[in-house]
Structure 1
Amino acid sequence: MANNELLMNANEVVAFLQKPSSEWTKDDIVRFIRENEIKMVNLMYPGGDGKLKTLNFVINNLDYLDTILTCGERVDGSSLFSFIQAGSSDLYVVPRYSSAFVDPFAEIPTLCLLASYFDKDGNPLESSPEYTLAKAAKAFREVTGMEFHAMGELEYYVITPDEEVFPAVDQRGYHESMPYAKTNDFRTLCMSYIAKAGGQIKYGHSEVGNFSQDGLVYEQNEIEFLPVPVEKAADELMIAKWIIRNLAYQMGMNVTFAPKITTGKAGSGMHIHMRLMKDGRSMMLDGGRLSDTARTAIAGLMELAAGITAFGNKNPTSYFRLVPHQEAPTNICWGDRNRSVLVRVPLGWAAGIDMCHKANPQQPTELPDTSLKQTFEVRSPDGSADVYQLLAGLCVACRHGFELSNALRIAEQTYVDVNIHDAANAGRLAALGQLPDSCAASADCLERQRAVFEKHGVFSPAMIDGIIAQLRAFDDATLRKDIEGHPAELKALVDRYFHCG
């Protein structure tokens, strides 16, 4: 990391140590704790419900601090994961030093570290979320010779009392400014806290969704991140959701990442952008067009899209968002700059034009390398997702493209260049695969495709079995049809999964 990046980094631990987080050692963490008068340490780790769990430690003395940082602690795995039996439930959680950040909410000075799970033999837990992602990233490197990078778009609603001043136009909140968007200050404060925790944020803005209901205003927001190695991307999303919820609680607000709140209003997704890297260079473009390498990865996404919903769409309300004729996808296809497709290739600054000079004639002409900005985006996931499982599944799917002999043909057959729902495309639409319409259907798709996800030992059979069982337990095969036109039943469903993921 260049020195100017260190100087501009918002993470207090980076600023103090003047070292990139990937180089932090136990001695670095101890020095930060001692010299900044940190009194407590929190270990945080994902549970089976997709949320971060926390274990608090008071620092009694230097020896105990060393023990915490070296050995971690025991936890009850059966209380965290449904697939672990109570008779053999003891697990270790061991901190990852590179994830350290100062808790912005604690009255007592506290350092937080994400932790990894280990089994009784001291090996990484095969079915743990973060190790599954690590295995997926490793298999991708070994098969393709490339690095898999990702970043997320967190969409969420903020709920506040209705002030009835400067009202926003219903479902027209996209990039709205204050005072018409009332929660912009909350979002920017969230962004500041996330950056201090190490999150690499691209930008934030208000989103389309806004409406009033029962004396409350619901405002949709989005925080988007920069592409980073996939394991770091998952950590950033987990910490960001934790921060957004905590800050809302502290400020007397409510927030939800739920995929659907009510009919006729925009749902919240968690779109994931991906890029392929080799030796620090993007492999996404070739002569200013999307490369065959990128198309090969997209073909893998097309093949495994149905099964990926098992990781990215975890409760019945997910499938009230994935309906035709909205910006959420239902057809398994991809295209350029097209929000009706499953995988979108957004604008990538590939035209070779100095727009900065055109906007600022006083600025000397320059043509910077913008190849790192090109990504492709999967639009089906939402806030109910298990972030680590989802990113592992996407990593597997992109790797799978390189294991297919006909990947480029699959990419060609699933490409659309206009809105797929236009009447002129009715024949093309009929030839495309469809995403599942329920948790039950998603479980069936994962069952059929599980061999690919288990290949190279990425997803353990126990984890796949557990996911399938969870999804089938919703018994929602006909739920979307059953409660259509019954708003009270839909509201009860939304309330049940309001704080999912």
Structure 2
Amino acid sequence: MTGDALEPHPIVRLLDKPSADFTAGDLVQAIEQLGLRQVNLRYVGGDGRLKTVAFPINSREHLIEVLTRGERVDGSSVFAGTDPDASDVYIVPRHRTAFLNPFGERPSLDVLCSFYDDAGKPLPYAREQIVRRAAEALSEETGMTLEAFGELEYYLVDEPERIYPVEEERGYQESGPFSKHQRVREQVLGHLCAMGVALKYAHGEVGNILEDDRQLVQHEIELQPVPVEQAADNLVLAKWVVREVAHSHGLEATFAPLVSGKGAGNGLHIHSRLVRNGASTIVGKEGINDIGRRLIAGYLAAAKALTAFGNTVPTSYLRFADGDESPEGICWGMKDRTGLVRVPLAWGGDVLAGMIAHANPGNTEPVPEPATDPQTVELRLGDGSADVHLLLAGMAVAAKRGLSDSGSLELAERLSTANHDDFERLPTSCAESADALEADREMFESNGVFPGALIDALLVGLRETDDAPLVEKAAKDDAAREELIRRHWYVG
């Protein structure tokens, strides 16, 4: 039983059980009681986007069959490089992911699926299977679970407003009427909460860009920590909901790393922590402990290769070159926004109690303790072009190496911004990113996490852009820059 009167997920409320315990029979019951008319099986394709197969409900027997067995699909149309002669694969519903579709013409139940091959084995190159294998390999070796969440940035594009026009680079947590599209943000929040996506907050971001014929207004959604498999799914769902809500308002949404010749781009910062038996293992009485430092060292050691998953288009590297709050070097610091890894402020203990008492004189209520220490480690590498399942899988692989490598603590010490300020840089192009991935591919392929054929395909894709000359030209030529931005507008 959930016992939470504020639970936003309507199926959880209806069944009075947590979504992790949903069965096919539970979903049939929900469909009958809610009068739903359609089931949508959804999966993440080889391009990282959400796909859909829609099923009308013909009978109870048909409904049970769809929700239990799933369907057969053409893998060669989903994943590049698949042999058309052996491309039939299965998608099987994961009942715990079920939610009510807030957008369809007909009231529908949607369920995310996992891929399996013709022998019933997990499909090696399916996105959800890769991140699952990475998480399992980490847990099996360390006994710890990697939890994560993203800070998802995006722009909404509209006609300029005459009243309360946007002020450039002044959008951070702005309120209406200076803030634009607050209704869109609130609708996105509502839909995601009802779908079971754990959220922290949403707000306006720094990026306000005013051009002759349009205004671009940046927003951010910050999610809550969950196991990395779920964190990846949540980010894909969040992008889908943002686009659907924006489209319903006649607006265009973009997650592109750069959206204009001026102003901030869209990052995708990923926070993470290691947990054992519900308790964080990365903090001690003095803050970040040795396990936390090993986690940081793992990310930094793999940083160049991780760009192959988190920074997949030429404008990713233009964004790095622009500076601002994009990472400047392969280093880390406490509360430092210039490094690749940041240990953000985490309130707690006497500090928290003192603030609450000062803000609320006379308050005698006890200060609630979070179930898990809120301290995270923030990897500031990714942007809106990231293949989020591969990025999170790569982070789990890097975390495992950091925890096991005898030199991790020394590396963390050496790459701390507290010690010096001259650090190695990230790749400057997709081609350099491919070189870094190729150099580290053995790490990602170990434990069967990343299939070798997938790594090969990623290398080919990154190198085919031949982007080093493009990036160099776009850095100096406004027209070339704009053309490159438009070419990579609908990423992620």
Q: Aligned residue for 2:489?
A: 498
Match of 2:97 among 99, 103, 128: 99
Tell me, yes or no, if the aligned pair for 1:324 and 1:330 is still in contact at 8 Å: no
Contact 2:2 2:16 in 1 (8 A): no
Secondary structure of 2:158's match? strand
- Asked if 2 retains the 8 angstrom alpha-carbon contact of 1:256 and 1:499, the reply is yes
Query: SS in structure 1 opposite 2:302?
Result: helix
Q: TM-score when scaled to structure 1?
A: 0.95
Partner in structure 1 of residue 208 of structure 2: 210
Equivalent position SS for 2:297:
helix
The CA distance in 2 between the partners of 1:11 and 1:439, in whole Å, is: 40
Summarize deviations over 1:318-350 as a string: whole Å, max 9, x none.
Answer: 111112641001311011111100000000114
- For 1:342, what is the secondary structure of its paired residue? strand
Q: CA deviation at 1:34?
A: 1.2
Task: State the alpha-carbon separation in 2 of the partners of residues 69 and 351 from structure 1.
Answer: 47
Pick the aligned partner of 1:449 from 423, 435, 440. Answer: 440
Per the TM alignment, residue 236 of structure 1 is displaced from its structure 2 partner at its CA by 1.0
Matches of 1:2 and 1:33 in 2, distance apart? 20
Does residue 1:410 correspond to 2:414, yes or no?
no
Provide, for residues 137-181 of structure 1, a one-character-per-residue CA deviation record: whole Å limited to 9, x for no partner. 101101111111000111000111111211232111111110111
- Give the whole-Å Cα distance in 1 for the aligned partners of 2:308 and 2:291: 26
| 2:154 corresponds to 1:156 | yes
| Structure 2 CA distance for aligned equivalents of residues 72 and 395 of structure 1 | 29
DSSP-derived class of the 1:499 partner: coil
Which of 340-349 and 179-188 deviates more? Answer: 179-188
Q: Is this contact kept in 2: 1:288–1:350, CA < 8 A?
A: no
The Cα shift of 1:284 comes to: 2.1
Gaps of 5+ in 2: none
Asked whether 1:395 is paired with 2:396, we answer yes
Verify the 8 A CA contact 2:25 2:64 in the aligned structure 1: no
| Structure 1 residue aligned with 2:121 | 123
> Which runs of structure 2 are paired with 1:364-383 in the superposition (5 Å)?
364=364, 366-370=366-370, 372-383=373-384
Instruction: Give how far 1:213 is off.
Output: 1.6
Instruction: Say whether residues 1:482 and 2:477 are aligned partners.
Output: no
Alignment of 1:439 with 2:440, yes or no, is no
Count of equivalent residues: 489
Aligned ranges for residues 323-342 of structure 1 at < 5 Å?
Answer: 323=321, 325-342=323-340
**Contact 1:331 / 1:341 at 8 angstroms: preserved in 2?**
yes
Percentage of identical aligned residues: 42
Distance in 2 between residues matched to 1:481 and 1:362, nearest whole Å: 61
Structure 2 partner of 1:468: 459
2:479 partner letter: A
Give how far 1:72 is off. Answer: 0.9
Distance 1:2 1:40, change over 3 A: closer
Distance 1:56 1:458 in 2: 31
For 1:285 and 1:206, locate their aligned partners in 2 and report how far apart those are by CA, in whole Å: 31
1:436-455 Cα shifts (integer Å, max 9, x gaps): 11111111100000011111
For 1:77, the equivalent position in structure 2 comes to 75
How far, CA to CA, are the matches of 1:287 and 1:173 in structure 2? 37
Distance between the aligned counterparts of 1:74 and 1:171, measured in 2? Answer: 48
- The aligned counterpart of 1:421 is none
- Measure how far apart 1:48 and its partner are: 1.4
1:275 counterpart residue number: 273
Counterpart Cα distance in 1 of 2:83 and 2:461: 16
The reply to whether residue 90 of structure 1 matches residue 91 of structure 2 is no
Structure 1 runs of 4+ off > 4 angstroms?
A: none
In the alignment, residue 38 of structure 1 is paired with which amino acid?
A: L
The answer (yes or no) to whether the contact 2:473–2:480 under 8 Å persists in 1 is no
Range with greater deviation from structure 2 (283-292 or 108-117): 283-292
Comparing 157-166 with 201-210, which one deviates more in the overlay?
157-166
Are the counterparts in 2 of residues 155 and 270 from structure 1 also a CA contact under 8 Å? Answer: yes
Residue 381 of structure 1 aligns to which amino acid in structure 2? G
Which of the numbers 230, 244, 249 marks the counterpart of 2:228? Answer: 230
Instruction: Kindly provide the amino acid, as one letter, of the partner of residue 394 in structure 2.
Output: G
Worse-matched range after superposition: 468-477 or 271-280: 468-477
Match of 2:357 in 1: 357
* In structure 1, C-alpha distance between the alignment counterparts of 2:348 and 2:57, rounded to whole Å: 52
Aligned to 1:386: 387
Corresponding residue SS for 1:35:
helix
Instruction: Give the Cα separation in 1 of the matches to 2:44 and 2:21.
Output: 23
Please state how far the C-alpha of 1:496 moved relative to its aligned partner: 1.4
Question: 1:481 Cα shift?
Answer: 1.1
- SS at the partner of 2:466? coil
Q: SS at the partner of 2:467?
A: coil
Helix, strand or coil at the partner of 1:352 = helix
Q: Does 1:18 align with 2:19?
A: no
SS at match of 1:434: coil
Deviations 1:339-366 (A, max 9, x none): 1000000001145221111110121164
Q: Contact 1:321 / 1:328 at 8 angstroms: preserved in 2?
A: yes
Question: Does 359-368 or 289-298 show the bigger shift?
Answer: 359-368
Residue 181 of structure 1 contacts residue 206 of structure 1 at CA under 8 Å; is this kept in 2? Answer: yes
* Superposition deviation, residue 483 in structure 1: 2.4
Question: Counterpart amino acid of 2:413?
Answer: E
- Deviation at 1:107? 2.2
Q: Is the 8 A contact 2:41 2:52 kept in 1?
A: yes
1:36-66 alpha-carbon deviations (Å, 9 max, x no partner)? 1111000111111111011000011111111
1:422 is matched with which residue? Answer: none
Matches of 2:350 and 2:445, distance apart in 1? 42
In 1, Cα distance between the equivalents of 2:182 and 2:80?
38
Compared with structure 1, are the counterparts of its residues 93 and 42 closer, same or farther at alpha carbon in structure 2 (3 Å cutoff)? same
Q: Following TM superposition, by how much is the alpha carbon of 1:417 offset from its aligned partner in structure 2, in angstroms?
A: 3.3
CA contact (8 A) 1:357 1:365 kept: no
